[in-house]
Structure formats: structure tokens, C-alpha cells
A and B are shown apart, each in its own frame.
Chain A
Amino acid sequence: MNFLFYLGLSLFLVILKTTLMPYFSIFDQFYDILIPLVFFLGLYRPAREGIPFILLLGFMLDSLSGGPFGIFLTTYFWLFVLTRWVVTFMHAGNKGLWLLTVAAGVLVENLIIIATILWLGETSALPPQWGDRVVTQLLWALCTGPVLIIAISRAHRKWSEWANRIISVVKGQEA
């Protein structure tokens, strides 16, 4: 059931990012909207539940993007691992952690992309105004990242309640 939730949510976020947001120029430099979902999985869900989905998500995004295959897969996997590591010494409900976590994730993703372009790409030059792009994404992440994590967390709670209710009804009917 949880997997269905993640799948539906990620599909919604991908459509939002690739189909709806391009209509508004204000979102031209918006960060990768799936990063909050990766963090949510890292902060609150067990690894056996998170990792398969993270890999699927990375694969999906790599397939949609014009970038080298594996960038999203790599980014999401390492973001997930980093989050798991961070929560070993910080409380997952820490608001400060929420505030910085998405921005840090966006920074890590951009660093991975920059490194890929510089060392693995056919051209060794970064696109012009790359610094502005990174800064804009970071600002967006600082402003909206925690809100997105809270929204995902609440949506997941609602989904779990709804799923549990359905399961108990089905079990009741079987009994």
C-alpha cells in the first residue's frame, strides 16, 4: 500500500515539474521537486521500503531527462544514504533539520551534476550563469522545502489511516 502511495505521489510530482511548472516562467529555475520525497523516505521510512523506491524513482527521472543516464539514480541513492546517516545523530523531527535538509539535498544534486558535466561529459565547460542557477534553486529549496516535507508527511499519514480503515473493513468481512 505504501509503495502505491509513493508511486502516485512521485507521478504527481513528476507531472507537476515536467508538464505544469514549465507554463510558469517563475519556476524555470525551481529545484528538483522529488528531493523532499527522497528526504521523507530517508527520515521516516525503513531502508527496505525506501531503497527500492529510490532506485525506481532515479530510473524514472533518468529516463525522462536529457542528461547522462544515472545522474538522478546516483543523486537519490546518496541523498537517501546521507539522510539515514544524519538521523543516526539528529532527531528526524528537528525543524532545523527540515529547513536545511532540502537545500542541502539540492546542493548535493547540483554538485553531482556539475561534477558529471565537468569530468564525465563531452564538454568540460559549465553552462553560463550556473552559479545563479544553483543559488536560485537553493533559495527556492529554503523557502519551500520544509513545506513540501510537511505536506508529504501529512499526505502519507492520511493515506495510512485510509489504507488501515480499508484493510480492517476487508478483514472484518472475511471474518
Chain B
Amino acid sequence: MFSRKTVMIVGLVVAVTVNIIVLSLSTRHHPKAYMPGRLALAIVAPFQEAVTRSVRFGKTLWAHYFALVSVSKENRILKELLSEAIEKNNQLVEVELSNQRLRELLNFRKNMPGSFIAAEIISRDPSSWFKAVIIDKGRADGLVKGLPVVISEGIVGQIAESSANQSKVLLIIDQNSAVDALVQRTRARGIIEGKSMDLCVLKYVLRKHDVTVGDAVVSSGLDGVYPKGLPIGYVSGVIKRNSGIFQEVSITPYVDFEKLEEVLVILNVPKSNPAADR
């Protein structure tokens, strides 16, 4: 009745129309979820999720790897910079401390008559029984045996021996050392001798003299080595025995011999120190 061609055309028109109607209806009303759709979702989604996560993980890993490489590189550079900065900072601290010490020495030098030469300590006594240091100035710089060695805090010692470019300084805490001294407040006189353990003792101070803990002790200038009025230390102990004409006076030097680094050697010792005379 109908040709095959006609049937095909009518079928196509019907299909298109139905499709349009279904599409039109589905755009207006959301269809309810149906079982096979949910099942497909339940089966496929986990794999999708896994793959997505894997890809994301890979991407993150890749990104982190590169980031880590660059961070590690940056870290190395920063560490180098930090160590350089620390080293520089240490050097600056050392320079600052050295500057401070040298300024103190300079101020001290300005306030003292006579000429000085600055020297650096290069080594210490090989034996713990004796207290001496070696300085980096010698006969070539005008240093001879007997010259006094001082710092701004007080007396350090005297030159015991000189070679061309180095000298040995016997510290006042050595037990072979002696300095004629005065208790500043009462003018009580005595001889300061080393006790070897960073302490000294003021000997031959008569019992009648008033000496109390804390009194400052200065050089008397009478030994012909140290100028008058140079600080030596303070009284840290007084023992008056029942018998005997002298009292025992312990002195703690102002100079910290453990931390000694630079010193001044007095080249021409003034006969007396006007500042102290006043």
C-alpha cells in the first residue's frame, strides 16, 4: 500500500517529533532517579574518583617535587647566606669588642704621661705553676727588661725578658712578682706578691694601719718600676692574727688575667703621676 521509502520518511518524522516532545518534557520536569542509573553511578564513580584522585595526586606530587627541588635549592642558598651572615656577625662582634678594648686603652693612654706601646698577647705560660704571657713586641720596638705593662683596668706585670720581636711579661699574680703598693684610702704601704691563682697578697702592712675589705690598692711608685697611682686591685680579705706585727691582706686584681688580649707597655716611666699626687 505504502512504498518502503514513504514508511521510512514517516518513521523518521515521528521519531524526531517524539524526541522533541520528550526533550521538551524533560527540560520542563526533572525525571526521578532510576535504578540502573544509580547502579551505574555506584559502579563507575569510585573508579572515576580513584583515577581523578590519582591524577590529582600525580599532579600535586609533580608540582611538589619541582617545588621541593626549588625549595631545596633556595634552602641551600639561604643556609649559605645565613652561615656567611653569622660569620660576618661574629667578626663584627669581635671587631666591636676589640674596638671597645682599644678605645679604653687609648683613653687610658691619653690620661697618662709618658709614651706607650700597644702589644697583643700571643701565648701563655706552658706551666700552670707560673704566670707569664708572651707579647708580640720586643727589643725592636724599644722594649727592655723591667718595663711596666698595664691596661686601663690596672697593672698587668712587667717585662721579664725581651727578644727582637717578642717579650715575656711576668704577671703580678706570679709568685715571683712584687709591686710596691699603697692602700688608697689610708695610704698604708706594703708589697704586693702574686699567689698564682689570680690573686695577690699585700705583705708587710703594719697591724696598726686601717685596712678594710673593698679598699682600693694602687702602686706607690717607690719600686721604680710602676708609675705612682696605677690601680692594682681591691682588698678582698684581711686577717689580723693575735701575734705578729703585720696583717695579712688578700688582694683581688682589677685585671682579669684570663681575658687579657691587648696590653700597653710604658716605655718611659714617669717619676711620679701627677693625677695620683693630687
Contact = CB atoms under 8 A, between A and B. Distances in A.
A66 B197 contact: no
A65 B128 contact: no
A18 interface: yes
A18 B125 contact: yes
A120 to B, nearest CB: 11
Interface stretch (B59-67, B72-80, B170-178): B170-178
A64 B175 contact: no
Nearest to B203: A123
Contact of B125 (A29, A34, A65, A128): A65
A124 to B, nearest CB: 10
A18 to B, nearest CB: 4
Contacts of A70: none
Interface string A1-45: 000000000000011011100100100111010100000000000
B27 to A, nearest CB: 89
Size category of the binding interface on chain B: 20 to 34
A76 to B, nearest CB: 12
Interface in A40-83: 61, 63-68, 71-72
A127 B196 contact: yes
Q: Which of A63, A72, A123, A129 has the most CB of B within 10 A?
A: A123
A76 B123 CA distance: 22
A133 B127 CA distance: 11
Interface stretch (B11-19, B129-137, B143-151): B129-137
A61 B175 contact: no
B127 A121 contact: no
Nearest to B133: A66
Interface in B117-167: 122-132, 134, 160-161
Contact of B130 (A34, A63, A67): A67
Given A113-B129, A117-B129, A127-B129, A66 B168 contact: yes
B195 A22 contact: no
A14 B124 CA distance: 10
Interface residues of A, number: 33
B197 A127 contact: yes
A18 B195 contact: no
A127 B126 contact: no
User: For A29, A72, A117, which residue has the most chain B Cβ atoms within 10 angstroms?
Assistant: A117
B129 A64 contact: no
B193 interface: yes
Contacts of B132: 64-67
B123 A67 contact: no
A64 B126 contact: yes
A122 interface: yes
B123 A64 contact: yes
B125 A66 contact: yes
Contacts of B176: 66-68, 121-123
A133 B196 CA distance: 12
A30 B128 CA distance: 8
Nearest to A69: B161
15 contacts: A18-B124, A30-B128, A61-B126, A63-B161, A63-B168, A64-B123, A64-B168, A65-B125, A66-B160, A122-B176, A123-B175, A125-B175, A128-B195, A128-B199, A133-B128
Interface of B: 122-132, 134, 160-161, 168, 170-171, 174-176, 193, 195-197, 199, 258
User: What are the 4 A-B residue pairs with the smallest beta carbon separation, nearest first?
Assistant: A66-B132, A127-B196, A18-B123, A67-B130
